[in-house]
């Protein structure tokens, strides 16, 4: 563990002009590359600031229920502060995320069990959970050992192909009181597994969140909120101060992705602080994770029935109340793109800039790649712009295999 440092945990990230995106947009596009933060995303700005303030107040142990970018930022902050961290994860979290968290020195729990205590698949050593394909293993179908997804949890096709190659039977038992089901077992399991995640995704995150809240009741323990706290917004405002120091004059617009609203709230705070509150903000979401857009349209907070978008980092069913308040302090244009547009933007950005980001970040990039900038200008909702800053928020939940799996799922070659 490292001793408590005196400076902040985030780095001043590059602001780079993109020739490829500028050509696409017909206007200078500047990329604020927060994907280059030491914890992999902008989250370290707000969460790092929050954790430092908690440590100054006597916090002895950090706990967080996010297995995504917020959890990694919390684990990184805890290591820098020299205090322990416990990250409580939904049982569907990928091994890639668990490994990275453990690499930061965090204890990882899966809805209450430590990762080491969980029963493992004999083939890939992934913990067996009620929501994984192992929960549907059928002894009557002749499985010699439990089947679980591969360590690359996002590439669902990999374990289905593996199951088929192992000679999965063409019929399998449907369980007590249920008739056998037909078809290749690999694809039946795939449908069962994906259906289970859609049905249980929120439920199992809630289980993890409740567990984190229970742990935070212990003396000296503090729960780290992923986005909804004034200290988080205060830390995220540092991004705008960096823009001010680099540019000197305000850009024509700032483009960002909205999940829970922490980045939006921080950017608004920063714009007000530096006197740039007249700069329009384009707040991008994917359909199926568009709780901010729904709130803007309704004029009040709206809770989505479920998160159906592949951009899971944008998966807040209800946006922070502060995000809606921001629309009354700055000009915020709320826009929604489809998953296919976000994932296509991820691929094009990889080709253009050789940088791989999550679909959540792809939502912001889709403002350029989908032609939305031109459409808003044609509709008179945006005037001529000298420049556009796109916040490349980053993300840890992506790799080349997962990108290919997402493209295949969306019918993209």
Token pair 């409580």: residue: 88
pTM of the full structure:
0.79
pLDDT in tens, 365-401: 999 999 999 999 999 999 999 999 999 998 888 889 8
The more confidently predicted of residues 252 and 130 is 252
Q: Look at residue 50 and tell me whether its pLDDT is greater than 60.
A: yes
How high does pLDDT run on average in the chain?
A: 79
For residue 13, give the nearest of 28, 31, 27, 29 by alpha carbon. 31
How far apart are the C-alpha atoms of 369 and 208, rounded to whole Å? Answer: 36
In residues, how long is the chain?
413
Beta-bridged to residue 153, according to DSSP, are none
> In the structure, what pLDDT confidence band is assigned to residue 110 with cuts at 50, 70 and 90?
confident
pLDDT in tens, 4-45: 555 899 999 999 999 999 999 999 999 999 999 999 999 999
Least confident of 84-98, 145-159, 373-387: 145-159
Q: What is the pLDDT of residue 19?
A: 97
Least confident of 108-112, 325-329, 345-349: 108-112
For residue 29, give the nearest of 293, 349, 333 by alpha carbon. 349
Q: Kindly list the distances between the CA atom of residue 314 and the CA atoms of 9, 131, 159, in Å, as whole numbers in the listed order.
A: 23, 22, 26
Torsion over CA: 57, 60, 65, 70 (sign): positive
How far apart are the C-alpha atoms of 97 and 108, rounded to whole Å? Answer: 10
Region 297-321: what's the mean pLDDT?
A: 85
How far apart are the C-alpha atoms of 406 and 413, rounded to whole Å? Answer: 10
Burial of 217 (0-12, 13-18, 19+ CB in 10 A): exposed
For residue 257, give the nearest of 341, 166, 131 by alpha carbon. 341
- In this structure, are strands 221-223 and 181-182 parallel, antiparallel, or unpaired? unpaired
Question: What three-state secondary structure class fits 199?
Answer: helix
- Token pair in block for residue 311: 């951009």
Q: What is the pLDDT of residue 314?
A: 63
Most confident segment among 95-104, 183-192, 211-220, 336-345:
336-345
Least confident of 139-143, 232-236, 387-391: 139-143
Token pair 């077992």: residue: 185
Region 178-203: what's the mean pLDDT?
A: 41
């Amino acid at each position: 563990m490292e001793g408590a440092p005196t400076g902040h945990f985030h780095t001043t990230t590059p602001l780079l002009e993109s020739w490829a995106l500028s050509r696409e947009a017909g206007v200078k596009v500047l990329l604020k590359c927060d994907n280059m933060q030491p914890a992999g995303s902008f989250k370290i700005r707000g969460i790092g600031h929050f954790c430092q303030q908690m440590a100054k107040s006597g916090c002895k142990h950090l706990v967080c229920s996010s297995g995504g970018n917020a959890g990694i930022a919390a684990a990184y902050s805890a290591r820098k502060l020299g205090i322990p961290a416990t990250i409580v994860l939904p049982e569907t979290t990928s091994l890639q995320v668990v490994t990275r968290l453990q690499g930061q020195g965090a204890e990882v729990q899966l809805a209450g069990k430590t990762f080491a205590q969980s029963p493992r698949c004999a083939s890939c050593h992934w913990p067996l959970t009620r929501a994984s394909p192992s929960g549907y293993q059928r002894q009557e179908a002749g499985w010699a050992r439990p089947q679980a997804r591969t360590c690359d949890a996002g590439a669902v096709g990999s374990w289905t192909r593996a199951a088929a190659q192992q000679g999965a039977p063409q019929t399998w038992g449907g369980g007590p009181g249920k008739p056998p089901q037909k078809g290749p077992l690999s694809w039946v399991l795939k449908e069962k597994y994906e259906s289970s995640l859609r049905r249980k995704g929120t439920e199992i995150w809630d289980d993890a969140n409740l567990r984190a809240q229970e742990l935070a009741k212990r003396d000296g323990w503090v729960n780290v909120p992923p986005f909804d706290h004034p200290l988080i917004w205060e830390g995220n405002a540092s991004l705008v101060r960096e823009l001010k120091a680099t540019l000197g004059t305000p850009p024509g617009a700032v483009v960002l992705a909205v999940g829970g609203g922490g980045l939006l709230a921080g950017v608004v705070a920063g714009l007000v602080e530096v006197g740039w509150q007249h700069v329009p903000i384009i707040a991008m979401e994917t359909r199926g994770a568009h709780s901010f857009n729904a709130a803007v349209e309704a004029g009040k907070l709206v809770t989505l029935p479920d998160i159906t978008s592949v951009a899971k980092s944008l998966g807040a069913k209800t946006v922070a109340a502060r995000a809606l308040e921001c629309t009354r302090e700055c000009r915020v244009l709320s826009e929604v793109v489809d998953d296919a547009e976000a994932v296509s933007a991820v691929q094009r950005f990889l080709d253009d800039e050789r940088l791989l980001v999550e679909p959540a970040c792809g939502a912001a990039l889709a403002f350029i790649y989908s032609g939305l900038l031109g459409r808003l200008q044609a509709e008179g909702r945006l005037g001529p712009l000298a420049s556009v800053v796109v916040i490349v928020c980053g993300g840890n939940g992506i790799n080349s295999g997962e990108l290919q799996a997402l493209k295949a799922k969306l019918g993209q070659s």
